[in-house]
Structure 1
Amino acid sequence: MDPECSRLLPALCAVLADPRQPVTDDTCLEKLLDWFKTVTETESSLLLLQENPCLVELLSQAFKFQDLSSRVVSFSLRLAGIFAAQENCFQYLQQEELMLRLFGEAGPLGLLTWNVPSVRSGWIQGLCSLAQHPSAEQFLVECGALDIIFALQGDSSLFVASAASQLLAQVLALSLQGQDTPQLNMLDDDWPLCARSIVGFLENSLQSGTTPQVTKALNVLTSTFGRCHQPWTQTLWMRLGTPVACLLEKEPVPAGHSLADLLLSMARSPVFGSSDCDLWVTLAQTLNRLSPTQAGPLALGILKLHICPQALKTQALGVLLQPLVCILEAATQPPGNLLCCPPGLLDGIERSPSISDTLLASTSSCISLLCQSLAHLGELQPLLGVARPGPWPQAALLQATVTALRFGNGSAVPVSNVGRHLCGVLAGCVRVQRAALDFLGVLSQGTGPRELVTQVFEVLLQYLSSPGSSPMVLKKAFQATVQWFLSTSKVSSFCEPDLYTQPFLRELFPVMQKRLCSPCWEVRDSSLEFLIQLTTRWGGHPGFQQALLASDVPELAEQLLQDPEGYVRASAVVAVGHLASRGLHATPSSPEHPGAQQRLLRELLHMLSVDTEGFPRRAVMQVFTQWLRDGHVAMAEDPEQFVASVFQVVSRDLDWEVRVQSLELAHVFLAQTLRPPDCPYAVTLPRVSEPVPLVEVLRTLGRAQVLDFALRALFDCDRPVAQKSCDFLLLLQARTTPDSGLQGSGCGPDATDVEAALQAWQAGEQGQPLGELVPEVAVAVLQALDLEGLRATLAESSDRVEQSPQSLLQDMLATVGTLSEPEADCY
């Protein structure tokens, strides 16, 4: 330990042990514990205590005062555990009679602070730290701590109960460490004393018949099999497998979710990985015995296993498919024939009447089961060969999902009593609509019959046009539509909305017109985001352009630049920017409207200067940067004037993201100024353009106010802005080397001008503009800056200010005024 830290420790320990002193916050105590952990990983804990007896004094004083802060009590327990993790230090603390006082039955249980969950949690965490060696195992049995751990399994605090469960699993593993299966049989006498007590507790809990007790035992076993993959776990299962299996005979099965977690934890262990293990039989029985909502997560977990019998995977897939089978049957089968399954959907899978019963039992059970099935199948679909036990029933799942959505919006015509019941339950149910639309989007990764895909677009259009669709449902419908557009364009030879989806587009844009005029701002925003996605992907294709321009969507999008909601204005900026870059204006440039491009440019510049919210201004800068990068016609005539007008505005902007985006614009402008791009519309072959002289580049950057902005941005209080500015100036500095040709101008920089420029640049920290720098002075300024050093400094983390243990101790002592520093009499 650092000598200065050792010097400060006695004062700090005295403060912590004194109930009259104000206690520092939890963050400092956590940092202090982290420091002690680091120290004990490299040094002897025993030597640390012997050289710093104040630490032992702190631990001995921690429980002498009833009114000691619960923070300090918890800290002391955890600190003692850190020291006692080394066996020789544990024995030293034992000799000092500290371990019994800290962790025994007569310890903190007698304090009022034991009622505080953080103290109980500190007690558990302390034991977790010290339970690393045989001496700790014997101590836990002898001091009565094991009984306390048993009791804490049912603690009122979920955090404490969970930690106690993890601790019990850790102690069991410690007790059985090094035990071989042949030496460990089913008889109690062959088990270590500590393990015997824990296994007895687990057996009693499993056989208690009460769900809380069963849940505690299953959670401990789940932690044990999850963290330990030793041979002795087989013997443990031989001992406890029977009472676990007996749980399946009860009605209903107690702690079903915990039981599923246990079995999956075992199935992932290599100890139980053989295909002939009886664990698979138990898993199959559990799938049949759990309720449908409990069996769903278990089925999904089984399908994700890398090693699993094929028959069990087939059974698990059937559990997930059957709710959708019931939906299909309710819409397609005559009354009284509910169990007649559509061909190919459940081939080789045993039907479970309980699933149908659950769907019909109540509204909540129906909705929960259906949403769960859709979510699990959606998660399963991308896991092609890993999880699928057979062919993926794409067509049937498409039909079932479309049917569920039609039940949800009331457009389905049920042909049975069951169908009428489901229609009444699902009509207007936002949860099911959202889950079904999500799954419909996932199914776009596959293919389907033409007539089914037609039905997909029909039901999507119904949801997009329905006034009853909630904003979230509408957003999901937009997302699914984009996914299906992408899917159908992949099979199109021209990668554009084909003749198959063209009729849908003609109906879609009138619907979007209504959505862009919605009184709900979330709907307007989602509609604009949808328009952006469509334009980005298909804005250059004639079919899309024709359908778009035949509607009022471009004009409405431009009107939303004046929307009262900032998020909508930001989305409108991006949408209008995408449309304009493809010539899809509300009023495109023509002899009748020659200034449409410039008018939009002026409107966005005005928005950049006056909009009171940051999101729209950031969006404007992103659009401007993309326009400059693409050579948009609005700035092609005079890009320098365009950039100058932008930087005149953003130089006063207080939003750091706007300033960062401005420097990105400067990067693009510099690249184009150094080597202007060839015209893509030239009728002759492109020729390599000559690089622009550096003198002219610097003059251009000066006139456009780019250099002034970048130099002042080095002083920006927001680090990302300074970093971006540094990168830009480094790029420019690399071009201003002594052999850059600037000296050939015959007029080297005057020393007075250089000094004046540097002073003016320094004054830029206060926000004063530098003015236009002549090229020679600009080069001198750039060469005078240590930009590499500045970039290295900026790359350091935000807590680069010294955070040493010494400074931590000083800060903690300073809060209570115990640092021995010269005091001044202010009076």
Structure 2
Amino acid sequence: MDPECSQLLPALCAVLADPRQPVADDTCLEKLLDWFKTITEAGSSLQLLQENPCLVELLCHVLKPQGLSARVLSFSLRLAGVFAAQESCFQYLQQAELLPGLFGEAGPLGQAAWSAPTVRSGWIQGLRSLAQHPSALPFLADCGTLDTIFSLQGDSSLFVASAAGQLLVHILGLSLQGPAEGPPSPQACDWPVCAQKIVGHIEGSLRSMATPQVTQALNVLTTTFGHCHGPWMQVLWERLSPLVACLLQEDPLPAAHSLVDLLLSVARSPVLSSSDCGLWETLAQTLRRLSPAQAGPLALGILKLQDCPQALRAQAFGVLLQPLACVLTAADQAPGPPGLPEGTTGDSVTVDTLLSSKSACAGLLCQTLAHLELLQPLPQRPSPWPQAPLLGAAVTILRFCNGSAAPASDVGGRLCAILAGCVRVQRAALDFLGALAQETGPQELVTQVSAVLLEYLRSPDSSPTVLKKAFQATLRWLLSSPRAPGCCDLDPDTQLFLRELLPVLRKRLCSPCWEVRDSGLEFLTQVTRHWGGQAGFRHALLASEVPELAEQLLRDPESYVRASAVTAVGQLSSQGLHATAASPEQLGGQKESLLAELLHVLSTDSEGFPRRAAMQVFTEWLRDRHADVAEDTERFVARVLQAASRDLDWEVRAQGLELALVFLAQTLGQPSARCPYAVAAPQATPPGPLAQALRALSRVRLFEFAFRALFDCDRPVAQKSCDLLLFLRAQATPSGGLQEAEGSPDVVPVEAALQRWRAGEQGEPLGDLEPEAVLAVLRSLDLEGLRGALAESSDHVEKSPQSLLQDMLATVGVRGENQADCY
């Protein structure tokens, strides 16, 4: 510890120990604790206490009734744990009889401050820090600490209760991780005392059959088996698994969700999954015992396991498919659901759950669809994958929801009534249907998929969120459609679907609901990005009036829609599919008008989203050498940078620097704007072309924009500017770029302007700059230092421990030798 801090520490400890003094806020105490952690990690805790006896005196105040505020008491308990984490310091505090007073029954437990959750939390955190070495175990076992932790598992504060459970896991792991000769003993009497007490408490909780106690015990075991993988884990499971199995005989089943978590945690343990401990039989029994809603997460977890008996996997997959089997049976005239794995039937319990209430039905179906969606892309998913029946089930659910299904039974009729207009199930089914697009299916079912998607996109009853999901699912199916043999264009079925879809899209772009217009524009952007070069799509789109509507939405009253419209028309224009004044087949008309309209958006739109979208479009146009840009690139860049430099939105300014970097790379003849700190050196630019390039950059006012941005109040903008100027300087090295001028260039005006901008003044524009002056300024700037400073966090200015102590003392009118710093 610094001598200056040692001189201040006694006064601070006196302030903390005085209940009459106002204490610094929690942030200062947290910083103080972090400082002590840093000191103890780097050196001896015992030496720290011996050299600073005021710290021991502060801990002694914990023993005095009504001695400390709850905030300082919590801090002191945590601090004691930090010191006692080292075994030598632990022994020192034990000999001083401080630890029993701090963490035993005679400590804060009997004080009124114990009612504060922050004190109970500090007590637990102190013990968690303390329990780092075997010497702590006898102390924990003998002073009643474990009993207090047991009771805190049911604390009214969820944070305290969770921390208590985590602490038990840590103590159990510490007590059983010590060196042992030979395999762990199955006899609990041979285990350390702490392990005996914790396992005994868990056993008592499991036997109680009371849901809160069972839940606490199962949660401790779940974390234990999830984090500890020693050989004693098998002994522990063999001891406790009969009690866990007994829970399956209870009706109702207590703590079902916690039981599922435990069994999956055990199954993922490499020690237990490969041993013959009856785990797979317990999992199979649990699957049969749980309700359909409870069994779903367990079935999914089993199917995600790498090593699992095939019979159990088949059972789990059947459980997962049961709700969909019920749906298919309810909608089909056949006696059983077609195409599902053998043995998968919609049992009566599942049917009863689906028909019990709208919430139960929706919950079970949404859970099932979400689980299957997670399972679908995994390599360990069941094989063969029942793609066709799953497609059929998704389509059937969607038709039950919109009332277009023809029920084949009373169950089907009741499902139609329950699911009618259920937005939650519609969203889940559309998500699942989109996920199934990764694979093909029978053409008849694919046709049904297209039909149901069109039904939802056309329906006036579809909510905005359902329409968004329908657009997303439609896009995934369109992008997965096969190409015609020997042809790069779309297959006939897809082209037919497009001819039906585009009028629906046109209608949705005119919707009175802005969310629907926005979803339609997002769909248009994505489908154009993927299919803009295919003749069939181009012809259908240009004949649909959709591009004209998208351009009209540039003036939409809702800013989100305007932003999506900017992105959509930018993508359309990149593909030569923008709206034209003449016939829709005539490509290339009104180029300047679209550019002018987007520049108008960038310069005048009152909201940031459309302006950001315009900058992103302009950057893409420049990178792709769009025809509108290629006509006069310098004029285009100058106009965009002029608008971006005045924008109040930092993201617009940052995107302006991204555009400037693209232009810089193109002007210097680089294929792309490389990071200047890449391992490979950038390509050198010959002196003549470099001077010409620098003059071009000056004409578009790129240097003024970048130099101003160096001192931008928003750090991302300054960082991008720094990267850009470093990239430029790397191209202009004397070995490969512009040579040093014989005379000194006049850099005084530029440096004066930089000083004004650094001070926050605006000042006059720089005007045209000579290449030599630009390079001289770049060499004079400490760009590497600025880059390093900008990479620091927002509170990177170091606040020394001495400053912290002085400020804490200053809050109560006590000063050290130096005045308190402000930070």
Q: Is the 8 A contact 1:229 1:271 kept in 2?
A: yes
1:147-546 matched pairs, under 5 angstroms: 147-178=147-178, 184-186=185-187, 189-274=189-274, 276-333=276-333, 337=335, 340-343=336-339, 345-348=340-343, 352-384=347-379, 386-388=380-382, 390-489=383-482, 494=487, 496-546=489-539
Q: Does 1:699 align with 2:695?
A: yes
User: What residue number does 1:581 align with?
Assistant: 574
In the TM superposition, what is the alpha-carbon distance from 1:735 to its structure 2 partner?
Answer: 4.0
Moved more, 117-126 or 800-809: 800-809
> Cα distance 1:556–1:180, how it changes in 2: closer, same or farther (>3 A)?
farther
Moved more, 299-308 or 410-419: 299-308
User: What residue number does 1:709 align with?
Assistant: 705
Q: Does 1:784 align with 2:780?
A: yes
Q: Is the 8 A contact 2:292 2:349 kept in 1?
A: yes
> Cα distance 1:695–1:572, how it changes in 2: closer, same or farther (>3 A)?
same
> Cα distance 1:22–1:495, how it changes in 2: closer, same or farther (>3 A)?
farther
For residue 249 of structure 1, give the secondary structure of its aligned residue in structure 2.
coil
Q: Is the 8 A contact 1:764 1:770 kept in 2?
A: no
In the TM superposition, what is the alpha-carbon distance from 1:367 to its structure 2 partner?
Answer: 1.2
Moved more, 618-627 or 795-804: 795-804
User: What residue number does 1:83 align with?
Assistant: 83
Q: Is the 8 A contact 1:19 1:69 kept in 2?
A: yes
- The aligned amino acid for 1:423 is C
For residue 207 of structure 1, give the secondary structure of its aligned residue in structure 2.
helix
1:615-654 matched pairs, under 5 angstroms: 615-654=609-648
- The aligned amino acid for 2:370 is A
Q: Distance in 2 between matches of 1:181 and 1:402?
A: 60
User: What residue number does 1:683 align with?
Assistant: none
For each residue in 1:76-109, what CA deviation from the matched residue of structure 2 results, as whole angstroms up to 9, or x when unmatched? Answer: 1111112122222222212222112211112112
For residue 814 of structure 2, give the secondary structure of its aligned residue in structure 1.
coil
In the TM superposition, what is the alpha-carbon distance from 1:428 to its structure 2 partner?
Answer: 0.9
Aligned partner of 1:662 among 623, 645, 656: 656
Q: Does 1:110 align with 2:105?
A: no
Q: Is the 8 A contact 1:320 1:373 kept in 2?
A: yes
Q: Distance in 2 between matches of 1:636 and 1:326?
A: 61
- The aligned amino acid for 2:702 is V
- The aligned amino acid for 1:445 is Q
Q: Distance in 2 between matches of 1:726 and 1:147?
A: 59
For each residue in 1:759-784, what CA deviation from the matched residue of structure 2 results, as whole angstroms up to 9, or x when unmatched? Answer: 23433442222122233433333333
Q: Is the 8 A contact 2:576 2:588 kept in 1?
A: no
Q: Distance in 2 between matches of 1:749 and 1:776?
A: 10
- The aligned amino acid for 1:704 is V
> Cα distance 1:817–1:468, how it changes in 2: closer, same or farther (>3 A)?
farther
For residue 89 of structure 2, give the secondary structure of its aligned residue in structure 1.
helix
Q: Distance in 1 between matches of 2:493 and 2:257?
A: 46
Aligned partner of 1:772 among 768, 786, 795: 768
For each residue in 1:83-141, what CA deviation from the matched residue of structure 2 results, as whole angstroms up to 9, or x when unmatched? Answer: 12222222221222211221111211222221222211111111122223333222222
Q: Distance in 1 between matches of 2:351 and 2:452?
A: 25
In the TM superposition, what is the alpha-carbon distance from 1:594 to its structure 2 partner?
Answer: 8.5
Q: Distance in 2 between matches of 1:741 and 1:155?
A: 70
> Cα distance 1:64–1:489, how it changes in 2: closer, same or farther (>3 A)?
farther
User: What residue number does 1:69 align with?
Assistant: 69
Q: Is the 8 A contact 2:484 2:492 kept in 1?
A: no
User: What residue number does 2:667 align with?
Assistant: 673
Q: Is the 8 A contact 1:181 1:232 kept in 2?
A: no
Q: Distance in 2 between matches of 1:543 and 1:422?
A: 41
Q: Distance in 2 between matches of 1:53 and 1:464?
A: 75
Q: Does 1:129 align with 2:129?
A: yes
In the TM superposition, what is the alpha-carbon distance from 1:534 to its structure 2 partner?
Answer: 0.7
In the TM superposition, what is the alpha-carbon distance from 1:707 to its structure 2 partner?
Answer: 1.8
Q: Distance in 2 between matches of 1:743 and 1:37?
A: 54
User: What residue number does 2:97 align with?
Assistant: 97
User: What residue number does 1:728 align with?
Assistant: 724
RMSD: 2.7
For each residue in 1:356-394, what CA deviation from the matched residue of structure 2 results, as whole angstroms up to 9, or x when unmatched? Answer: 22112222221111111111111111112x242x31111
Q: Is the 8 A contact 1:629 1:668 kept in 2?
A: yes
For each residue in 1:655-702, what CA deviation from the matched residue of structure 2 results, as whole angstroms up to 9, or x when unmatched? Answer: 22111111122122223333499xxxxxxxxxxx99973333222222
Q: Is the 8 A contact 1:402 1:456 kept in 2?
A: yes
> Cα distance 1:715–1:760, how it changes in 2: closer, same or farther (>3 A)?
same
- The aligned amino acid for 1:468 is D
In the TM superposition, what is the alpha-carbon distance from 1:48 to its structure 2 partner?
Answer: 1.4
Q: Is the 8 A contact 1:81 1:125 kept in 2?
A: yes
Unaligned runs of 5+ residues in structure 1 are 678-688
In the TM superposition, what is the alpha-carbon distance from 1:431 to its structure 2 partner?
Answer: 1.1
Q: Distance in 1 between matches of 2:719 and 2:643?
A: 21
Aligned partner of 1:571 among 564, 577, 585: 564
Q: Is the 8 A contact 2:264 2:301 kept in 1?
A: yes
TM-score (norm 1): 0.92
In the TM superposition, what is the alpha-carbon distance from 1:41 to its structure 2 partner?
Answer: 2.4
User: What residue number does 1:29 align with?
Assistant: 29
> Cα distance 1:821–1:609, how it changes in 2: closer, same or farther (>3 A)?
farther
Moved more, 442-451 or 24-33: 24-33
Q: Is the 8 A contact 1:708 1:772 kept in 2?
A: no
> Cα distance 1:403–1:595, how it changes in 2: closer, same or farther (>3 A)?
closer
Q: Is the 8 A contact 2:184 2:235 kept in 1?
A: no
In the TM superposition, what is the alpha-carbon distance from 1:726 to its structure 2 partner?
Answer: 2.2
User: What residue number does 1:560 align with?
Assistant: 553
Q: Is the 8 A contact 2:576 2:587 kept in 1?
A: no
For residue 773 of structure 1, give the secondary structure of its aligned residue in structure 2.
coil
For residue 254 of structure 2, give the secondary structure of its aligned residue in structure 1.
coil
- The aligned amino acid for 1:48 is L
In the TM superposition, what is the alpha-carbon distance from 1:441 to its structure 2 partner?
Answer: 1.2
For each residue in 1:158-183, what CA deviation from the matched residue of structure 2 results, as whole angstroms up to 9, or x when unmatched? Answer: 22112111222222333333457866
Moved more, 150-159 or 792-801: 792-801
For each residue in 1:171-206, what CA deviation from the matched residue of structure 2 results, as whole angstroms up to 9, or x when unmatched? Answer: 2333333457866334x5434433332222222211
- The aligned amino acid for 2:470 is A
For each residue in 1:456-515, what CA deviation from the matched residue of structure 2 results, as whole angstroms up to 9, or x when unmatched? Answer: 111111111112112221111111111111211478765654222111111111111222
In the TM superposition, what is the alpha-carbon distance from 1:240 to its structure 2 partner?
Answer: 2.1
Q: Is the 8 A contact 1:513 1:552 kept in 2?
A: yes
In the TM superposition, what is the alpha-carbon distance from 1:421 to its structure 2 partner?
Answer: 0.8
Q: Is the 8 A contact 1:675 1:692 kept in 2?
A: no
Q: Is the 8 A contact 1:172 1:195 kept in 2?
A: yes
User: What residue number does 1:682 align with?
Assistant: none
Unaligned runs of 5+ residues in structure 2 are 672-684
For each residue in 1:217-268, what CA deviation from the matched residue of structure 2 results, as whole angstroms up to 9, or x when unmatched? Answer: 1112222222222233333223322221111111121111111111111111
For each residue in 1:6-34, what CA deviation from the matched residue of structure 2 results, as whole angstroms up to 9, or x when unmatched? Answer: 23322222222222222223233223323
TM-score (norm 2): 0.92
> Cα distance 1:814–1:448, how it changes in 2: closer, same or farther (>3 A)?
farther
Q: Distance in 2 between matches of 1:270 and 1:697?
A: 62
Q: Distance in 2 between matches of 1:740 and 1:351?
A: 75
Q: Distance in 2 between matches of 1:417 and 1:244?
A: 40
